[in-house]
Each structure stands twice: as C-alpha cells, then as structure tokens.
C-alpha cells in the first residue's frame, strides 16, 4: 500500500519537524511512505526522520498528479497533514477538492486519516471540512476545543509527545539544575508585548531561590534575539540557533531540557519537547483557549499553565515551586500520552494490513 502524507512546516520552527517526525513514523507503518515536503532546504528536512525507502515530493504539481494516478485505482492510505490549521476558506476548498479522491480510494479498499490537528478558532468553514472528515477511518484532535468545534473524531495527545527520552530515562533520578525559558518574540506581522528585563529579573530571582539557573532558549529561530536580550539582562546563558539546521538545534536543546527542572514558555512545542525530556512545563497562558494550555490539557497536563502578563513576572515566580513539585506527575502523564499514541499508531498500521 502506498501512503500519502504531507509534512510542510515553518522553516525555523523545530516543533513543526519534531511532531511531524512522529506522525510520519506512524503512517509509514501502513505502507511505503510518499511524503510531500514542499521546497524547504535540507536543513529543515533533516529532523523529519525520513528513511531511504521514502518517496519525497517537493512540488505541489507532482504531488497532485501522483494522488490522481493512485487514489481510486489501487488501495492507498491518504493522510491529511498534522499540526495547526485554520478554519478558512482556502483549507475548506482544499478538503472539498480531496473528497472525491477519498471516496474513490475507499471504494477500492483504501483508507484515509486525519491525525493530531489543532484549530485556532471556530468559523463556519468547519461544517464543510467536518463533512469531508467523515470519510476518514481515524480522526483525532490534539485538544478538546478543536474536537468539540468539529464534532467528529476524538482527542489524542500531540505527536511531539511520542519523541524524547525513554520511559526509564524519564523516571531516572538525576540532578536538574536548570530553568529553561523559551519566549515568543514580537514580529512585524504578529505584534505582541514582550517581557521586559524586570520580568526576567523576577523570574531569575525565583529560579535562584529554588537552586536553578535560568537558560533562555529559542525553540523557533526568530525568537533568538529576545532570548539573548533577556539573558544579557540577568547575566544568564542563551541557547539560540547557530544555523538553520533543525537536527543540530534539536541535538543541542534536548540535553539542556534533560537538565531542566522546569520550562517556562508560551511556545507550545518548546513546552512539549522539554516535557518529553522530563522537565515540568509551565505555560504562559492568555486564557482557556490558549493553544499551549488546551494542548497540554489533552495530554493530562491540565495544571501546567499560569495566567501571564509580560509586564510582571510575579505570577510566574509564584508558580515555579508548584511546577517543580509536579515533575514526577508530568513524567507519568508523558508516559501515558505515549501509550495512547502507541494505540493510535497500531490502529493506523492495521489500516495498511487489511489492504
């Protein structure tokens, strides 16, 4: 069986590649993987975990032609992309154009899946998209809000929880003396208040009282300038991207998170990647619909958020001690999330075995 999956992410977003690596590993279990990556450089593709037998497609015209040649003629598995989606007209039209191929494929004994998606907000475009998703054998959402908005499928943890340290390593007791801080920078197209040097001093002082040293990191390349500026303000270390190579940055970040007791972040996958190395996540939340808050809750980490104002670090400082105390529960939640993803992976593999 051929397996068709898209894996197009942001060029400087490590989370995009980490979650898609676990996703691709799962759908590959159903057959030979044909993966659409678009036109990113090899630096980004480096962290996708591609294998020698995978067929990599870089142009949309080639991808569409291969889908038309295969779906409806021989049984195949079609997988919608994972990660975050917008309920917008362009996505709805893309789903509707795919629907006839999914019907033809199903009549030939093929299958389709839609796994681990999160939605920013609900719009009327959810209705045609949900109708198309009823053609799929497996539909999962990475948070309960997305599931409720769409009314089809079920929730399952984000794919990035399937990566990281082993169960034995997570449960092992070893020194953790770092407070990792990974913050979202304001950008010309996405203006937002940034934490001040006073905020950084409050958080660094709280870390020191717990025997932790702050390290400011950039899970996304464009956050590096903010991380360096806050680190300089308190005389701390900054870990930013030395190159655009995703694999290299991940290889630097994971050992740091393995030494971290807590990570403070408003970047979802900064929190998840650190949690899969045993750090307790503390999400800086803007409210119950905050992406990080609801995605962590779906993985059993409903206590891992604090209401945040970038003008004051006091709330974060107060929450740090609780986050340190939750670390053992975080570890067990990560392990449970992986078991749930293992069961989902087995279900996808079974779709390939039946063809």
pLDDT tens column, 337-355: 999 999 999 999 999 986 6
pTM, full prediction: 0.95
Q: CA-based angle 28:34:39, to the nearest 5?
A: 125
Number of domains in the chain: 2
pLDDT tens column, 109-136: 999 999 999 999 999 999 999 999 999 9
Q: Average the pLDDT over 71-81 and give the result.
A: 94
Q: What pLDDT is recorded for position 311? A: 75
Choice between 108 and 308, residue whose per-residue pLDDT is larger? 108
CATH number, position 325: 3.40.50.2000
Residues 177 and 323 in one domain: yes
Q: What pLDDT is recorded for position 186? A: 81
Residues 47 and 174 in one domain: no
Check if the beta carbon of residue 47 is closer than 8 Å to that of residue 67. Answer: no
Q: Average the pLDDT over 187-209 and give the result.
A: 87
Q: What pLDDT is recorded for position 289? A: 83
Q: Average the pLDDT over 203-229 and give the result.
A: 96
Residues of the chain above pLDDT 90, percent: 85
Q: Average the pLDDT over 235-258 and give the result.
A: 94
Residue 332 lies in domain: 167-336
CATH number, position 32: 3.40.50
């Amino acid at each position: 069986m051929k397996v068709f999956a898209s894996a197009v992410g942001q060029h400087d977003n490590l989370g995009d590649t980490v979650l898609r690596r676990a996703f691709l590993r799962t759908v590959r279990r159903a057959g030979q993987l044909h993966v659409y990556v678009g036109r990113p450089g090899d630096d980004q593709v480096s962290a996708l975990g591609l294998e020698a037998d995978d067929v990599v497609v870089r142009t949309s015209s080639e991808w569409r032609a291969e889908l038309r040649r295969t779906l409806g003629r021989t049984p195949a598995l079609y997988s919608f992309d994972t990660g975050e989606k917008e309920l917008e007209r362009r996505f709805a039209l893309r789903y509707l154009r795919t629907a006839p191929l999914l019907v033809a494929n199903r009549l030939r004994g093929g299958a389709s899946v839609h796994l681990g998606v999160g939605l920013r907000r609900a719009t009327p475009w959810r209705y045609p998209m949900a109708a198309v998703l009823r053609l799929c054998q497996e539909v999962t959402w990475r948070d309960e809000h997305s599931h409720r908005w769409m009314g089809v499928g079920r929730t399952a943890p984000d794919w990035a929880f399937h990566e990281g340290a082993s169960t034995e390593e997570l449960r092992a007791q070893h020194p953790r003396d770092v407070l990792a801080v990974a913050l979202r920078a304001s950008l010309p197209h996405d203006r937002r208040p940034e934490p001040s040097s006073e905020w950084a001093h409050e958080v660094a002082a709280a870390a020191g009282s717990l025997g932790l040293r702050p390290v400011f990191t950039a899970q996304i390349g464009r956050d590096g300038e903010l991380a360096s500026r806050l680190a300089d303000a308190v005389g701390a270390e900054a870990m930013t991207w030395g190159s655009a190579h995703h694999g290299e940055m991940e290889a630097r970040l994971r050992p740091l998170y393995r030494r971290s007791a807590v990570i403070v972040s408003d970047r979802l996958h900064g929190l998840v990647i650190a949690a899969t190395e045993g750090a307790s996540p503390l999400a800086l939340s803007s409210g119950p619909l905050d992406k990080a808050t609801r995605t962590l809750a779906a993985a059993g980490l409903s206590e891992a958020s604090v209401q945040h104002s970038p003008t004051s670090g006091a709330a974060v400082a107060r929450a740090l001690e609780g986050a340190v105390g939750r670390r053992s529960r975080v570890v067990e939640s990560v392990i449970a999330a992986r078991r749930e993803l293992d069961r989902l992976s087995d279900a996808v593999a079974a779709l390939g075995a039946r063809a």
